[in-house]
Amino acid sequence: MKTPLIKNRIILVLVIVVIAIAFSVSRSLRRTGFRPLDGVYVSRVIDGDTIKLSNGMYVRYIGIDTPEIRERKGNGWIYNPMPYSEDAKAFNQRLVGGRWVRLEFDVQKKDRYNRLLAYVYTGDKMVNMEMVRAGYAMIYTYPPNVKYTDRLLDAQRDAREHTRGLWSSLSTDVISASETSKNIGLIKMVEARVLDTYLSRRVLILDCVDNFKVVIFKDNLAYFPKEILRSPDNYFKHKTIRVYGVIKNYKGSPEIIANSPSQLEVF
């Protein structure tokens, strides 16, 4: 029969072993980028701008937009990757996949899909910013979450000047509205004539020739000339515009979302 002294020594040895193992694992995790003290663990990378946490919550990166991997078909989604979408996901995976990350929130904490809206950090690096700087994301300004808009714009200018990622598809050549449907998923400069405008509580749409549209969310109109909001018809109707951005397909119509006045010129 073991004496109390022997039992105490065994317990002490076990405690020391457990502490040593915990310290070793913690140090190993830090070397590989796992930072438990940063707060939340990324269990899955969905695409270039969305991740899933180990607690089951999804996080949508604030201020950026990356090419879509899936598109909605009926009530579900099908795999139909846009150009650079897999590259964006792979880059995001390298940054945050299987890592502990820190979240910073802006004014709105969740979107209508109940996803967390956040700036995501690994160490001192903001992942949102790294995605833009590498050319795998464009800025997607949506007030009131605009805390780092200026910094994201600077990162985008840098990516554009160095033709990284998505920006490698943007040349000095201007395409017509009739060519937009053949360039879905690419950043292009499009020249088109505006036939009509539509302003709702949420969005301003410029209806152009060849079924091409330019979309400006109303919250973003504060960054554009005030005359646009006063009378979009006077400002745009029957005029020629040049707009650059990712060409997307929305309900059969090619469109570009303009988040910044720098994307749009009127002639």
Q: What does the domain layout of the chain look like in residue ranges?
A: 37-166, 170-266
**Contact call for residues 184 and 248 (beta carbons, < 8 A):** yes
**Contact call for residues 191 and 176 (beta carbons, < 8 A):** yes
Q: Which helix (H) or strand (E) holds 31?
A: helix 4-31
User: Which region among 21-25, 91-95, 128-132, 196-200 has the lowest average model confidence (pLDDT)?
Assistant: 21-25
pLDDT at 36 over 60: no
Q: Does domain 37-166 have CATH number 3.40.50.10420?
A: no
- pLDDT tens, 98-110? 999 999 999 999 9
The pLDDT assigned to 6 comes to 60
Hey, which of 2-6, 22-26, 39-43 has the most confident mean pLDDT?
A: 39-43
Has 115 been annotated as catalytic?
Answer: yes
- pLDDT tens, 144-192? 899 999 999 999 999 999 999 999 888 778 999 999 999 998 999 999 9
**Which of these is catalytic: 60, 130, 133, 255?**
60
**Contact call for residues 88 and 164 (beta carbons, < 8 A):** no
The pLDDT assigned to 2 comes to 53
Assign 142 a pLDDT band (cuts: 50, 70, 90).
Answer: confident
C-alpha 136/C-alpha 170 separation (Å) is 13
Q: Which helix (H) or strand (E) holds 133?
A: helix 127-133
The pLDDT assigned to 169 comes to 84
Q: Average pLDDT over the chain, rounded to whole? A: 87
Has 68 been annotated as catalytic?
Answer: yes
Assign 38 a pLDDT band (cuts: 50, 70, 90).
Answer: low
75 or 240, greater pLDDT: 240
C-alpha 121/C-alpha 95 separation (Å) is 9
**Which of these is catalytic: 35, 99, 115, 133?**
115
144 cis-preceded (ω within 30 degrees of 0): yes
C-alpha 153/C-alpha 179 separation (Å) is 28
Mean pLDDT of 216-244: 93
User: Which region among 6-10, 43-47, 108-112, 239-243 has the lowest average model confidence (pLDDT)?
Assistant: 6-10
Would you identify the CATH topology of the domain 170-266? OB fold (Dihydrolipoamide Acetyltransferase, E2P) (2.40.50)
Residue type present at position 103: L
Vertex 113, ends 108 and 119: CA angle to 5°? Answer: 45
The pLDDT assigned to 10 comes to 58
Token readout for 70 is 């899936």
C-alpha 191/C-alpha 156 separation (Å) is 22
The pLDDT assigned to 3 comes to 62
71 or 167, greater pLDDT: 167
The pLDDT assigned to 28 comes to 42
C-alpha 50/C-alpha 60 separation (Å) is 5
Identify any residues that bridge with 71 across adjacent strands, giving them in sequence order: 78
**Contact call for residues 138 and 187 (beta carbons, < 8 A):** yes
Give the 3-state secondary structure of 149-185. Answer: HHHHHHHHHHHHHCCCHHHHHCCCCEEEHHHHHHCCC
Residue type present at position 24: S
Sorted by sequence, the CB contacts under 8 Å of residue 52 that are 6+ apart come out as 42, 43, 44, 45, 46, 58, 59
In this structure, how many other beta carbons lie within 10 angstroms of the beta carbon of residue 257? 21
pTM of the model: 0.76
73 or 82, greater pLDDT: 82
Q: Is 50 helix (H, G, I), strand (E, B) or coil?
A: strand
C-alpha 219/C-alpha 245 separation (Å) is 18
Assign 32 a pLDDT band (cuts: 50, 70, 90).
Answer: very low
